[in-house]
Chains A and B, each alone.
Chain A
Amino acid sequence: MKVGKMVSFVIDGKNVQAEGGAMLLNVARQNGIVIPTLCAHDTVARSGACRLCVVEVTKGKRTRIVTSCLYPVDEGIVVSTKTERVMNVRSLVMQLLMARCPESQLLKDMAKEMGIEPQPSFRVETDKGKCILCRLCVKTCEDVVGVSAIGLSRRGKDKIVGPPFMEDSVTCVGCGACAYVCPTDHIVMESTDGRRKIWGRAFRMKACDTCGRYFAPVDQLKWISKKTGTPLSELSVCLSCK
């Protein structure tokens, strides 16, 4: 593979050029090709968990289905993003997720756009909420925030996201990045009267010294101060007033 050098290849009949080793999903999007995704986000490393971004790639004599979010482009490959095989996988993934999370409006909207109906033979789940196990929240908490307050536990169909042992999180700083990044709005964060509730804990919010608006949990400010070395006193003004 020519990593770093420009390579030429074909997507949906269109000749394109990109840096070798670049991820196929990014290159496709740069070229105006729409590929649906649920678990790819620019801020965290990709996991390839949702399988929605599959495309068909022919390299040499071999044609196979790959996840475009993790597939490094190479010279001479031929990519088709909408073949029958591709659509069969996407349709299965959407139907499976709709049965898992019937409440999710995002899934309903995406399925409608893709022309996919729910599979009536799949029993609808009632206990999974809107969590599709894309793991964006977990990765954000670990890699971006750096506290690893939540993680994945158990295995297979019992897999679940949450704090260790599903007890109220001790390390959570209440930043809400997990709720922000969650594509299906499964993670609930409530903010009222200077308190924010998330993952079973209530966090006291800091009011801006200038405008008086609550802008961040005190625990989060302490965490930022500890991580960056900025004195806590310098973190008492909200972003708008800074």
Chain B
Amino acid sequence: MSTIKTLEDLNKAAKRGLESIIPSKTKIMVGMSTSGLASGAQEVYDALAAEIKKRKLDVVLCKTSAMGMDCIEPLVEVIQPNRPRLAYSRMTAKKVPEVINQVAKGVVDGFKPTYRMDEEDYLCLNEKKPYFKGPLPNDVKDIPTISNVDFYKKQVKIATRNCGMINFESIDEYVAKGGYFSLYKALTQMKPEQIIDEIIASGLRGRGGGGFPAGVKWQTCRRAHGDIKYVLCNGDEGDPGAYMDRSVMEGDPHSIIEGMIIGAFAIGATDGFIYVRNEYPLAVANLQRALDQARAYGFLGNNIFNSGFNFDIKIGKGAGAFVCGESTALMTSLEGKAGEPRAKYIHTVEYGLWNRPSNLNNVETWANVPAIISRGAKWFSSIGCKNNSGTKVFSLVGKVNNIGLVEVPMGIPLKDIIYEIGGGIPGGKKFKAVQTGGPSGGCIPKSLEDISVDFDALWEAGSMMGSGGMIVMDETTCMVDIARYFIDFLEFESCGKCVPCREGVMRMNEILHDICGGKGRPGDIELLESMSKGIVDGALCALGSTAPNPVLSTLKYFRDEYTAHVRDKKCPAGVCKALIRFSVSDEKCTGCGVCLKKCPTECISGEKKKTHVIDQTECIKCGVCKESCKFDAIIVE
């Protein structure tokens, strides 16, 4: 690899990259990010490699990351000359020979791809490149295009533009997608102040949860006094069920790096750090590889693009404490101390890492920057809604049919994400609520399903955007139990520095455990409320001051469930074991005996074709009988 100093050099790299993205021969790509690997992509990859070798096919086999629809992984995609790109979902090693047969013949026959792509979006170049010229081959005509797949229909990809599209191991492919052209533009054609103005004009708000205007933060940091300044990337994603940042770090690490270099130039920073949790081994490896590549090309180091600008980035690995996602705790941890937050009355843009001006943005924010520089503030702000420009990446999980990573324009109605992109609730159950904003976010009830998904509307509803976790719950979810779950998590993750968070969240957890355990006392709900106020006001950092949110938001919308637990000693959703009782309906039971066989404590008895009985003294309320009964004869009350 030789250093890239001129536009001509950059164009050469782009050309190499394009030849590798759409080669003149057949290319097979396997989605090998964590979600793919977890569903068996490595086995599929190995089987493909073996089959290709066995048949001596002249085929390129490479890795890519996840495009978002994790519920259909492992995903194998085939690009062949003069044919659309085809995606085979839920692949197994067994299905490999059949796919290879189709590849060898160049015709779809039998096992069908889930969708096809006729063209590929090169967002930063503002163009679309077709995979084939001329008419669409007959054999693929009835395979839907990706834009007709419900999951992708309403998505707009900016931050995740390259995820699943390029080989994350290739810097040239990133360049071919328009990567590092924004850096070239910023360093050779723009002044730092112009870049900041562009980011301010774009309306980009911090995607880590705070929603603070990124450009304004950059400006404050640029104006702060100090010879040495830092730009930092927060990749310490720790919310249960959230993996937006992991996906970008794994699938498109260069987008973050390019964003950070542009930011550093605008701010006047000399060094950068990416703080990433070590539980993300693939993200760490892919970032490290990308940093080495960027350094080899001269995008990091001295005199980048002959501009005289020097900058480099190091990775700081976190040990997986949730609190280290808080800005001051992250910086304390980077300094090599225990990750504890400190007071922020003087902002970190003035006194941050090692008491120097430090600009911290999260992964998704940085990944947006190159796109804004290349396409312009006007373009970016035309996407989204008022005061909420652009898109937001969410990890859509829980009780929803299509689980995966989605990127949607800000302001999209919540119901579109749940019913259209998410494909609704499995098993014909009713949608109840969605938890947004991670553990310290809140629950939004079905009655607000029309809500516009943006920073301000979610905040107003008592939840928050957070970094983008979205956990869907159905009617079988107990909201008190959910609040208890999140408070339990926060109690475990509290660093223990300040009293309201350390002791207060623990006491709230005790009270919630009591309520769920049938030991709720009159006054508990009011006590939870008054404690919440004290913790919100009194805690040192954002983890503590938002910790009561799960309780406050569930109390706001589901107070009757709390009352049922405390006063009536009932769990309406049938979840809290101490408050429920399983019995058999005389009307519905056919005496088939399935529950009797499945019961792990053998506490169900009854003769064939006669109503069965559950022995309450032995029943452990595991719910196996209810799940196994085809006649809906098990009553939970």
Q: Report which A residues bind B (CB closer than 8 A).
A: 1, 47-52, 54, 65-67, 70-72, 85, 88-89, 91-93, 96-97, 99-100, 119, 121-123, 132-133, 152, 154-159
| Assembly CA distance A200 to B500 (angstroms) | 31
A-B interface, 8 closest residue pairs, ranked by CB to CB distance from nearest: A92-B534, A159-B496, A89-B538, A96-B503, A156-B494, A65-B537, A70-B343, A156-B496
Q: Report which B residues bind A (CB closer than 8 A).
A: 321, 338, 342-343, 345-346, 491-500, 502-504, 506-507, 510-511, 521, 523-524, 527, 530-531, 533-535, 537-540
With both beta carbons as reference points, the residue of chain B lying nearest to A56 in the complex is identified as B537
Contact of B345 among A70, A119, A122 (CB under 8 A): A70
Contact of A152 among B338, B492, B503, B539 (CB under 8 A): B338
Is the pair A155, B498 in contact by a Cβ cutoff of 8 Å? no
| Assembly CA distance A153 to B510 (angstroms) | 23
Contacts of A49 in B (CB 8 A): 497-499, 540
With A54-B537, A121-B521, A156-B506 given, can you name 14 additional A-B contacts, CB distance below 8 Å? A48-B342, A49-B499, A50-B498, A50-B499, A51-B538, A93-B538, A96-B500, A121-B507, A133-B496, A133-B499, A155-B321, A155-B494, A157-B494, A157-B496
Contact of A51 among B493, B499, B507, B510 (CB under 8 A): B499
With both beta carbons as reference points, the residue of chain B lying nearest to A47 in the complex is identified as B497
Shortest distance from the beta carbon of A188 to any chain B beta carbon, whole Å: 22
Is the pair A92, B498 in contact by a Cβ cutoff of 8 Å? no
Known contacts A48-B540, A93-B538; A72 and B345 CB within 8 A of each other? yes
| Assembly CA distance A123 to B533 (angstroms) | 20
Shortest distance from the beta carbon of A196 to any chain B beta carbon, whole Å: 30
Shortest distance from the beta carbon of B335 to any chain A beta carbon, whole Å: 15
| Assembly CA distance A84 to B628 (angstroms) | 55
Is the pair B504, A92 in contact by a Cβ cutoff of 8 Å? yes
Contact of A72 among B346, B496, B534 (CB under 8 A): B346
Is the pair B345, A96 in contact by a Cβ cutoff of 8 Å? no
Is the pair A93, B527 in contact by a Cβ cutoff of 8 Å? no
Contact of B499 among A66, A93, A152 (CB under 8 A): A93
Shortest distance from the beta carbon of B452 to any chain A beta carbon, whole Å: 25
With both beta carbons as reference points, the residue of chain A lying nearest to B343 in the complex is identified as A70
Contact of B531 among A47, A65, A67, A92 (CB under 8 A): A92
Contacts of A100 in B (CB 8 A): 503
Contacts of A92 in B (CB 8 A): 500, 504, 530-531, 534-535, 538
Contact of A157 among B498, B502, B540 (CB under 8 A): B502
Contacts of A152 in B (CB 8 A): 338, 496
With both beta carbons as reference points, the residue of chain A lying nearest to B524 in the complex is identified as A121
Known contacts A97-B499, A121-B527; A157 and B491 CB within 8 A of each other? yes
| Assembly CA distance A44 to B498 (angstroms) | 17
Contacts of A93 in B (CB 8 A): 499-500, 534, 538
| Assembly CA distance A65 to B538 (angstroms) | 7
| Assembly CA distance A159 to B499 (angstroms) | 11
Contact of B496 among A48, A66, A155 (CB under 8 A): A155
Is the pair B507, A156 in contact by a Cβ cutoff of 8 Å? no
Shortest distance from the beta carbon of A3 to any chain B beta carbon, whole Å: 10
Shortest distance from the beta carbon of A121 to any chain B beta carbon, whole Å: 6
| Assembly CA distance A8 to B521 (angstroms) | 50
Contacts of B346 in A (CB 8 A): 1, 72
| Assembly CA distance A97 to B507 (angstroms) | 11
With both beta carbons as reference points, the residue of chain B lying nearest to A89 in the complex is identified as B538
Return 13 A-B CB contacts under 8 Å, by A number: A47-B342, A49-B498, A51-B498, A54-B538, A72-B345, A89-B500, A91-B534, A92-B500, A121-B507, A121-B523, A121-B527, A155-B494, A156-B502
| Assembly CA distance A167 to B114 (angstroms) | 61
Shortest distance from the beta carbon of A151 to any chain B beta carbon, whole Å: 9
Contacts of A48 in B (CB 8 A): 342-343, 498, 540
| Assembly CA distance A91 to B499 (angstroms) | 12
With both beta carbons as reference points, the residue of chain B lying nearest to A88 in the complex is identified as B534
For A54, A89, A119, the residue with the greatest tally of chain B CB atoms inside 10 Å of its CB is A89
